[in-house]
Amino acid sequence: MNHDELAYAVDRINDLVDAIIRGQELMHDVQKELDLRECNPFEADRIFAKQFGSLPVSPIIRVRNGISYETRVLHQAGIGLRDIRNADFLYEIRDLKYILVQFKQREGAKPVAVDYDQLQNLIDNCSVACKQIQPNVVINPGITVNAMCGSWYGIFDGTRGERYFPACEAKRILKSRQRKPDKFSIGLTDIEFEDMFISCQSGGRLGLDAIWEYARTLVAQNDLVFAISQSKAMGLTNPHAEN
């Protein structure tokens, strides 16, 4: 490994570390707000719990292909209320990864009603700079997903069902001159979206395993061996990890 290759590897590892720390800080803040809502539910939340047995913010454990993950509602309707981190829904594999999703509904042939400030805030909440950290995966023609993308945009479509896009890709499509319904057909279905999440092809990372995935390629080439440890990880139940 020459000097330039080493410098590139170190820079990339530092970018990964920064993204993981940002993700941990984000999820720490999200968890604090969820705990507050769970302890002090609004009237509408209590009515929901009376009917369905739990508050909207309470986690639901789901299992897909043998992988357990949690979903929670971040959306809050009402005057003066706001969604947590400008997202409506949270997917999480505890201590490993997460995705925030903002949903919009398309009515018939009408364009999707977009709150660009809300969408930009969702993009800003992503823990990774897409142009900075690789790898990127082309999932459908015209749609690229960063393997550590934590902010997504979901569209409820009456004819096509749900379609999912990375938030930055959704902004690009929605800003384009042609916002026809077929533009959204290239998004992921709900099954494809969840499969990518549980198979580690998407999602903001919370643990050092993301660094090891990259380091493993260097080790395989006999290029680099290194150690990284984190003695205290904000908001994680298993704070110590090494690679």
26-78 residue pLDDT tens: 999 999 999 998 999 988 889 999 999 999 889 999 999 999 999 999 987 65
Residues of the domain holding 207: 3-242
Mean pLDDT, residues 118-141: 73
Contacts of residue 63, defined as CB under 8 A and 6 or more positions apart, other chains included, come to 69
Q: How many distinct structural domains can be found in the chain?
A: 1
pTM: predicted TM-score of the whole model, two decimal places: 0.82
Q: What is the pLDDT of residue 119?
A: 92
Q: How confident is the model at residue 218 (pLDDT cuts 50, 70, 90)?
A: low
Alpha carbon distance 153, 87 (integer Å) = 9
CA 67 to chain centre: 17
Q: Is the pLDDT of residue 132 over 60?
A: no
